Structure 1
Amino acid sequence: MTTLKAGTIMLGVRDVDRAKKFYAEGMGAEIEQDYPGFVTCKLGAGSNLALYAWDAAAQDAGVSPDGSGFRGVSFHHLTDSRDEVDEVMRAAVAAGGTVVKEAEAAQWGGYFGFFSDLDGYLWKVASAT
């Protein structure tokens, strides 16, 4: 039986250069490939993030590029400390992201917050303590 793996996550973005600046300069991702309309970044721990022009990504999949609103997905960055949660949230805002939910203590004992990138993709940043 084959096991499903996700080595690369692709985001359809409205402006590839703007998204590249957010993720590379603002959030510290390392650019791996850089082509007009397509960029890949290393996220660490063997995963990559691909940034692809929104309309081109929709065309590749054979779907309408007009989708909007909550996409039913969020990306999670897990840290070792509350300080790192706060640091990542500050970096996202400094890079042009938007705080969706301020970092706070969770009922389950952890600490977390949410931000969105420049195209509205939702990121949860959390620590277990």
Structure 2
Amino acid sequence: MKTNIRAITLAVSDLERSLRFYRDGLGLFSPGIIGTEFVRDEQHPGGSVAMFTLDNGLILSLYSRTDLAMDAGIALDRVAGSPISLGFFADSRADVDHILQQAVQAGGAIVRPPVIRPWGIYAGYFADPDGHLWEAMYFLNGIPE
């Protein structure tokens, strides 16, 4: 069995707003919202989704909170907030600062300004408009193997 994580789906309250945040604000490539022909009804979730294929092949998907909860068969409150953080690996300290600035300009919020951590990274946190927590980080001694 292969153990590859190839997709991460974020539950969002406003798909258009989140698409603008990640595509127009952070510069991630997406063809836009697809699957709009699959409309939610009483028994089936809708299919509208925005996808971003990242440089390493990972797919970041944005999906309506309501549709994700319905698709997974769970309560809506289970797909809110941010019990995890996701990470951007940056090529320099300046890139970390730039990512955080982009996030704010796109409608996100700085959660923790960047600092040098004792374990050798320069990093700061931001939240997207739905509160998903992201860490932008630069490894001062190179990315660990």
- The equivalent of 2:27 in structure 1 is 28
Match of 1:116 in 2: 127
Q: Is the counterpart of residue 99 in structure 1 residue 75 in structure 2?
A: no
Which runs of no fewer than 5 residues in structure 2 stay unpaired? 37-47, 141-145
CA drift of 1:57 comes to 0.3
**Greater mean deviation of Cα atoms: 86-95 or 105-114:** 105-114
1:38 matches 2:49: yes
- How does 1:63-74 map onto structure 2 within 5 Å? 63-67=74-78, 71-74=82-85
Q: Which has the larger radius of gyration?
A: 2
Q: Is residue 69–residue 79 contact of structure 2 (8 Å, CA) maintained in 1?
A: no
SS in 1 for 2:30: strand
Which residue of 1 is the match for residue 13 of structure 2? 14
State the distance in 1 between where 2:124 and 2:66 align: 30
**8 Å contact kept, 1:82–1:127:** yes
Q: Which moved more, 1:38-47 or 1:67-76?
A: 67-76
Choose between structure 1 and 2: higher strand proportion: 1
Q: Give every structure 1 segment of 4 or more consecutive aligned residues whose post-TM-superposition deviation is greater than 6 Å.
A: none
Partner of 1:82: 93
Question: Which piece of structure 1 moves more, 15-24 or 103-112?
Answer: 103-112
Q: Provide the rounded CA distance (Å) in 2 between the counterparts of 1:59 and 1:66.
A: 11
Structure 1: which 5+ runs fail to align?
A: none
- Aligned-residue RMSD, C-alpha: 1.5
1:127 paired residue number: 138
For 1:62-83, what per-residue CA distance to the aligned partner results, in whole angstroms no more than 9, with x for missing partners?
0000237654211011112101
C-alpha deviation, 1:32, in angstroms: 3.8
Output the CA distance in 1 between the equivalents of 2:23 and 2:90: 19
Deviation at 1:109, TM superposition (A): 2.5
| Offset, 1:117 | 0.4
Sequence identity percentage: 32
Figure out how many residues of one structure are paired with residues of the other and give that number.
128
Note if contact 1:31-1:40 (Cα within 8 Å) is conserved in structure 2: yes
Whichever residue aligns with residue 81 of structure 1, its letter is S
